[in-house]
Copies of this chain bind each other. A is one copy, B any other.
Amino acid sequence: MDSLSIQLDHGSGGRATHELVNEVFAEAFNNRFLLEMNDSALVEVEGGRVAMTTDSYVVDPIIFPGGNIGSLAVHGTINDLCMRGARPMYLTAGFILEEGLPLETLREIVESMAAAAREANVLIIAGDTKVVPRGKADKIFINTAGIGMVPDGINIGGHNARPGDAVLINGTIGDHGMAVLCKREGLAFENEIVSDSGSLNGLVQAMLNSCRQIGVLRDPTRGGVATTLNEIAQQSDVGIQLDEESLPVREDVAGACEILGLDPLYVANEGKVLVCLPQHAAQEVLEVMRSHPLGRAACKIGEVVAGEPGRVFMKTRIGGLRLVDMLRGEQLPRIC
């Protein structure tokens, strides 16, 4: 291509669009479904339950410690499929580009998407590119939608938490949100805070292979662990009691949160999963989680209770009990 940055005619549907698609997207996402270059891609599926999801990504900055908007867009949508017990298979990618975006930046982002998809064994089979004039978007927005098949016997959803269940998480909380925020605000700490952005399908698969009684899986992204647990409490009409002492927070994340007046319970994660499952199965699943690279710091953080349905409480370090509400207001804009 002639230009070193995105021009309006890259979105025209004409020759420049074709060059961009061939030289950037098709080369990176290289697979036979996409390369057919038809209005939609055709794939074979077996009959059964298909999970389908979508997310748009508008994170600022577009490149942050531990990832960029492209890898995030692949991880996030894969994870939303995993949270129903689905095996993620196919993604679509829709790009909205601001005129003037350096082509080099686009290539870096697209290559990260391709690498994230390869790593998770999913294919990006259809795409779309629009270009808007300078000042009408902020560099790049990406939408990914995805489908995956849910094996028979799996029944996972936010309404399946039962009193007595244990609540588990696969590691430390707040890493993604603080990584993005520190980068955006130019805050430097002794160690750089790195996003946890990653695909959870391998971890979730291992967990489901060992235990079919998992009722709820949910990734605590925007709104953080607090908001996600409130959603589960409401959908299942149960109470949830957290144990502050057991909440895993990296020291640097905790420190940054304290300086900025944020509560890590409300900060976004992009490689974490909350799990509700019968107490008697918790130890075995925790061991499976800890033997996976994305679950080394897995732990139990609370319990599902019958009282106070729809509400989340936390037993504090000093022995009190405080209400943990859903996020109110916008704690951190453009975090994903």
A interface list, Cβ under 8 A from B: 7-9, 11-18, 36-58, 60, 79-81, 83-84, 86, 90, 92-96, 125-128, 130-133, 135-138, 141, 143, 145-148, 150, 157-159, 218-219, 221-223, 227, 231, 235, 266, 268, 326-334, 336
A141-B96, A143-B94 known; A40+B83 contact, CB < 8 A: yes
Q: When the two chains form the complex, which single residue of B40, B45, B328, B336 contacts A14, counting CB atoms closer than 8 Å?
A: B328
**A137 to chain B: which residues have CB within 8 Å?**
58, 136-138, 141
Q: When the two chains form the complex, which single residue of B44, B93, B218, B332 contacts A39, counting CB atoms closer than 8 Å?
A: B218
Q: When the two chains form the complex, which single residue of B58, B86, B159, B329 contacts A40, counting CB atoms closer than 8 Å?
A: B86
The residue on B at minimum CB distance from A327 is B14
A42 x B84 contact (CB < 8 A): yes
- Assembled-state Cα–Cα distance A328/B47 (Å): 44
**A128 to chain B: which residues have CB within 8 Å?**
54-56, 143
User: Measured between C-beta atoms, what is the minimum distance from A330 to chain B in Å?
Assistant: 4
The residue on B at minimum CB distance from A137 is B137
User: Measured between C-beta atoms, what is the minimum distance from A21 to chain B in Å?
Assistant: 11
A227 x B13 contact (CB < 8 A): yes
B90 x A52 contact (CB < 8 A): yes
**A326 to chain B: which residues have CB within 8 Å?**
14-15, 18
A54-B128, A131-B333, A333-B8 known; A38+B92 contact, CB < 8 A: no
A130 x B45 contact (CB < 8 A): no
- Assembled-state Cα–Cα distance A138/B266 (Å): 29
- Assembled-state Cα–Cα distance A334/B14 (Å): 13
**A334 to chain B: which residues have CB within 8 Å?**
130, 132-133
B84 x A54 contact (CB < 8 A): no
- Assembled-state Cα–Cα distance A222/B11 (Å): 9
**A42 to chain B: which residues have CB within 8 Å?**
49-52, 84, 86, 150
User: Measured between C-beta atoms, what is the minimum distance from A162 to chain B in Å?
Assistant: 17
Q: When the two chains form the complex, which single residue of B48, B331, B333 contacts A44, counting CB atoms closer than 8 Å?
A: B48
Most-contacted residue by chain B among A49, A79, A130, A146 (CB, 10 A): A130
The residue on B at minimum CB distance from A145 is B145
B333 x A37 contact (CB < 8 A): no
A13-B221, A327-B15 known; A54+B145 contact, CB < 8 A: yes
User: Measured between C-beta atoms, what is the minimum distance from A271 to chain B in Å?
Assistant: 14
A223 x B14 contact (CB < 8 A): yes
- Assembled-state Cα–Cα distance A158/B37 (Å): 8
A219 x B39 contact (CB < 8 A): yes
User: Measured between C-beta atoms, what is the minimum distance from A125 to chain B in Å?
Assistant: 6
A83 x B39 contact (CB < 8 A): yes
A330 x B56 contact (CB < 8 A): no
- Assembled-state Cα–Cα distance A46/B158 (Å): 26
A38 x B83 contact (CB < 8 A): yes
Most-contacted residue by chain B among A42, A93, A158 (CB, 10 A): A42
A125 x B157 contact (CB < 8 A): no
Q: When the two chains form the complex, which single residue of B49, B52, B126, B221 contacts A92, counting CB atoms closer than 8 Å?
A: B52
- Assembled-state Cα–Cα distance A42/B149 (Å): 9
A39-B218, A40-B81 known; A96+B12 contact, CB < 8 A: no
The residue on B at minimum CB distance from A13 is B222
